Amino acid sequence: MKDLFGNEIVDPPRPVVGGHPARTGTGPEGETCGTCDHDRVVKPGQHRYHKCFLIRSNWTHGPGTDIRKKDKACQLWKAKEKS
């Protein structure tokens, strides 16, 4: 689509949602948050929650900053280091 001046209109980037530091799906093909080195398990009580360590300063004590292991990787994805 073009604007009034004939310039191509580019879709603006979507805002980062939830606990992801960058937009999901922008990382390596076939990788997920669960295969990323930044995935951390937080266990404040009976339940376990996955959160991205890159945004640890923004972590809440609620689902607003949770991630799912099956979410597609973002551009900041890093392979897990072997121990």
Q: What are phi and psi of 63, to 5 degrees?
A: -75, -5
> Quick one: tokens of 35?
């295969």
Give the model confidence (pLDDT) of 46-59 as tens digits.
889 999 999 998 88
Residues in the chain, overall count: 83
Give the model confidence (pLDDT) of 15-74 as tens digits.
556 889 998 999 999 999 999 999 999 998 888 999 999 999 888 888 999 999 999 999
Q: Are 38 and 76 in contact (CB under 8 A)?
A: yes
**The pLDDT value given to residue 16:** 57
Q: Identify the residue whose tokens are 């360590």.
A: 53
